[in-house]
Each structure stands twice: as C-alpha cells, then as structure tokens.
Amino acid sequence: MSTLDVVSMETPNLGDRSYVAGRGSSAIVIDPQRDIDRVEGILDQRGWSVSHVLETHFHNDYVSGGLELARALGAEYVVPSGMDIAFSANQVSDKDEIPADVALIRVLHTPGHTPNHLSFALNTGSADVALFTGGSLLFGSVGRTDLLGAALTEPLAHAQWNSMRRIASEVTNSAQVYPTHGFGSFCSATATVGNSSTVAEQLRTNPVFGVDEETYVSELIAGLDIFPTYYAHMGPANQAGGGPIDLSLPQVASPQEIAAAIARGEWVVDLRHRKAYAADHLRGTLSFDVYGNAVTYLGWMIDWGTPITLIGDDISEISTMQRELVRIGIDRPVAHAVGSPSDLTSSGTPTTSYPRVTHIEMAAALKSTGQLRVLDLRRNSEFDDGYVSGAKHVPLHELRGRVDEIKVWAADDAGSGPVWVYCGSGFRASIGASLLEAADVEVIHVDDDFPNAERAGLVIERPPHGHRIGATYAD
C-alpha cells in the first residue's frame, strides 16, 4: 500500500495553510483558499483526482474556495453540520466516517474556534496517520475563541480546552498534525511555534495540555487582542458559498481618472515598496506595500464596498494584489495603472514625498530638539510590551477614525511640526504615514524594526499594566 503524501499550500499574508492529501491516484483537499488554480496545479503535477473537499469550519479570515473546487472537480463537498448554508453539501457530524481511497476519514467534533468546528483524522486501518485540525489544535497554541462575539468567547474557550483532551485521548499520538491557522494568522490565540508536529509532540510542548481548565480559559481570554474587522464579512460569505473568481486585469485608469477617484474619496492604492513610495508618490494615494501584508490591513481599514484602484510599478504587483484581495471577498478593483508617479500625475494629483528615517535618526532628532511628536501604530499587546517614551498610541486600524484627533495633537503646545510615525517594522507606519499625509498632516516615516529603538538610545517605557481587551489606557 502506498504511503499518504500531504502537500501544503501556504498563504503567508493570511497566516493559513491548505492541504492536498493524496495516495495512489486519489486525493482529498482540506480548507482550500479561493484561488483554486493553485490546487489544480498540484493535482496536475501529481496526477491525482479529488474525491472529497473538506472544510474544518466556516472560516472567519478568508472566503473558501471549497464549494467552487468541488463543483469544478466533481468532488463531494464536506462541511460541518449545524450551519445554515445556501448550497448543497455533505454536512457531517461527530463520529461520522467517510470512506475514501486515500484513507478512512474520521470526523471529530472539536468546538472552540467555532461551535461547529471539526477535525479530520485519516486512518489507514491500524492507526491515524494524519490529523487536520483547522483552527483547533495549532503548533504550540490553539485557535482563538472570540471571533463570534463576547458572549461565546468564554464558553468556546472551555470547549477548546476539552476538545484538546479529546484529541489527546482519541487520536493516534503518532499522527502528523496539519493545522489550517497559526502561521501568523489572527485566528491563532497566541503565536505558534514550528512548521510540523505530531499529536505526541503537541502533548509534550503545547501549553494547552499543561494547565487546568480554569487557568487555561482565564489566560487565553486575557491574552486576546483585536482582530481584523473584515472578518465580519467572511462567515456570511462562506455560508452563501464562494463563487468563481476573475483575476483578469481591470480597466486601465488614466491620470485624470486617478485624480477623479481620489477626489471622490475612493481608494487609490500604491502597491510599490514603501521605500519607493516615500521618495515619490501621487498625493492622496495610500501606501499598501504589496511586498508586505497589504491585504490584511487594507481589508481591516477600508469601508467595505469602497471602490479600489490599484497602481504599481508593473503588472505583477497588480496581479499579486488582485489574488490577495479575492481571498477576502474583494473581487474586482475598478481600475489599475502601471508606471512611475510622474507617468500617472495630472493637475489634480501632484507628486510628493516625505522623509523616511531609522530609529537612530529619530534619536538624533530628539536629542537635538528635545521634543518630537511620535506616533505608535502598533496593536495594544505590542504597545504593552514597551513603547518609545512620550509616544502617542493609536493602533493602525483606528487611525482613520482618529485623524482629527491627530491633527489637534500635532499642532498642540509648541506649534505645528511633523509626526514621526513608527510601528513594529516600518510596514504599518508606511500605511499610516500615507493616510495622514493625505489628510494634510506633515509626517516622517520611521522605517525600522522596533527593537532598534532601544539600541538607538531611545527610552522605552514598559508599563506594568496594559490595555488589553476590556481595559483602557491613557495616552
């Protein structure tokens, strides 16, 4: 009998993995992303035909490609029972068994990340050889339990703890673990560790197995931070069923059309590297560096349904962002343009720039002037671990709603002056700087890793009490 071959498909900017598990000429697919051509490419390479497409849960961070893949391949679509869905599928429950050529698929109800969450154990007769855990058991962590609202957070945390005990007792300990979330995903309760593992290894190393239920629940809830607001749109989209996608280029926008889009309050998104953006860009555009995690923060910050025009140095940047956007249900930009800012400028959109500096340069400026207006755009949990002394804290996802507050603060006391914008790496600071500049705030982009701030001689404050969920923190 041939061995099971599991191929992982990573989606780094969402922190997810999808899987194709094959043996012989047959395969199953678990938790596919919406751009199903990636799956089809693997199937063509391996000569596999798909019998089943499995969903561990109705995802909160992306629109699934499962329904469309199953339709395209003539496979059986398997989803958790207990959800209202607008399409036909095999809705399975705890202890169901699904015969397949690759293995017997054992269904385990593992609530926690969602109430209906399932894990799938592949059994080859004498033992489970693989366990697809979705958002339940992750590498060194578990899926967060607060995505469906405050009322369910604690009950689901208790359910998650018990689901882990069930996996420990009912799944062959040598089985390989294949989680969907946890590789930088906001669906993970805490940071994950490693890229492969077995059930046995998780029993030894995962903190969830080393504490009692009440301790686990209280610590998990205390550690939860904010998650992207676009998640609210993903569940309903998945219950409706994600349809086919169109990755062809949208229409080309002229310089005059770009100017008009900015004037209408639409989003004209510059996908170039943030270094290039700082040096030269169209005023009023927003910097979402496609070489970073642009899709998560764009989806988080945009008013859902706002028209988007993408501009970049080349077609590859446009195509990359289109693929990222369809994964979260933003199907079609209204237009695109390729070229330098000077190519795309018009009388309505002049080119401009702003300074881009390191923490060393910020420290030198502070030493010279004695006072800087410093804005920290990191999340609450990051800020709690330490921040530049005197910095004002506005998490990036809140910045659009607090621009007027920033304007007042920037002009306070000693008169107007630039706002020095930093984050954890410089990526989010580029987004924030572009947004503030579009609102007529003078900015300096600190494009540097935060640990370098202390090395540069900046004073780092480390508060004993932070402002995690349910608490407040004074600026």
What fold does the segment set 255-352 form as a domain? Answer: Oxidized Rhodanese; domain 1 (3.40.250)
pLDDT at residue 474, rounded to an integer: 31
Tell if the pTM clears 0.85, that is, is over it: yes
pLDDT at residue 467, rounded to an integer: 41
Nearby residues of 341 by Cβ (< 8 Å), 6 or more positions away: 280, 281, 282, 351
Q: Please tell me the distance from the alpha carbon of residue 144 to that of residue 248, in angstroms, as a whole number.
A: 35
End-to-end CA distance of the chain: 64
Render the burial of 46-81: b for 16+ CB within 10 Å, e for the rest.
Answer: eebebbbbbbbbbbbbbbbbbbbbbbbbebbbbbbb
Nearest to 18 by CA among 47, 61, 51, 49: 61
Instruction: State the pLDDT confidence band at 189, using cuts at 50, 70 and 90.
Output: confident
Instruction: State the pLDDT confidence band at 421, using cuts at 50, 70 and 90.
Output: very high
* pLDDT tens digits for range 423-446: 999 999 999 999 999 999 999 999
Q: Contact 459/387 with Cβ under 8 angstroms? A: no
Mean of pLDDT values over 225-252: 95
Render the burial of 348-378: b for 16+ CB within 10 Å, e for the rest.
Answer: bbeeeebbbbbbebbbebbeeeeebbbbbbb
Residue 281 has pLDDT above 50, yes or no: yes
Delimit the CATH 3.40.250.10 region(s) of the chain.
255-352, 356-461
pLDDT at residue 258, rounded to an integer: 96
Nearest to 327 by CA among 63, 15, 39, 17: 63
| Residues pairing with 286 in the sheet | 269
Delimit the CATH 3.60.15.10 region(s) of the chain.
5-240
Average pLDDT, the chain: 94
* pLDDT tens digits for range 408-418: 998 875 556 89
Mean of pLDDT values over 83-104: 97
When mean pLDDT is compared across 256-260, 338-342, 363-367, 415-419, the lowest value belongs to 415-419
**Both tokens of residue 316?**
């590859």
* pLDDT tens digits for range 381-416: 899 999 999 999 999 999 999 999 999 998 875 556
Residue 1 has pLDDT above 70, yes or no: no
Instruction: State the pLDDT confidence band at 190, using cuts at 50, 70 and 90.
Output: confident
pLDDT at residue 468, rounded to an integer: 39
> Of 3.40.50.620, 3.60.15.10, 3.20.20.220, 3.40.228.10, which CATH number belongs to 5-240?
3.60.15.10
More confident residue, 78 or 470: 78
* pLDDT tens digits for range 316-355: 999 999 999 999 999 999 999 999 999 999 877 899 999 9
* pLDDT tens digits for range 126-180: 899 999 999 999 999 999 999 999 999 999 999 999 999 999 999 999 999 999 9
Q: Please tell me the distance from the alpha carbon of residue 84 to that of residue 241, in angstroms, as a whole number.
A: 11
DSSP letters of 73-116?
A: HTPEEEEESSS--SS--EEE-TT-EEE-SS-EEEEEE--SSSTT
Q: Contact 141/93 with Cβ under 8 angstroms? A: no
* pLDDT tens digits for range 20-65: 999 999 999 999 999 999 999 999 999 999 999 999 999 999 999 9
pLDDT at residue 471, rounded to an integer: 36
pLDDT at residue 183, rounded to an integer: 84
What fold does the segment set 356-461 form as a domain? Answer: Oxidized Rhodanese; domain 1 (3.40.250)
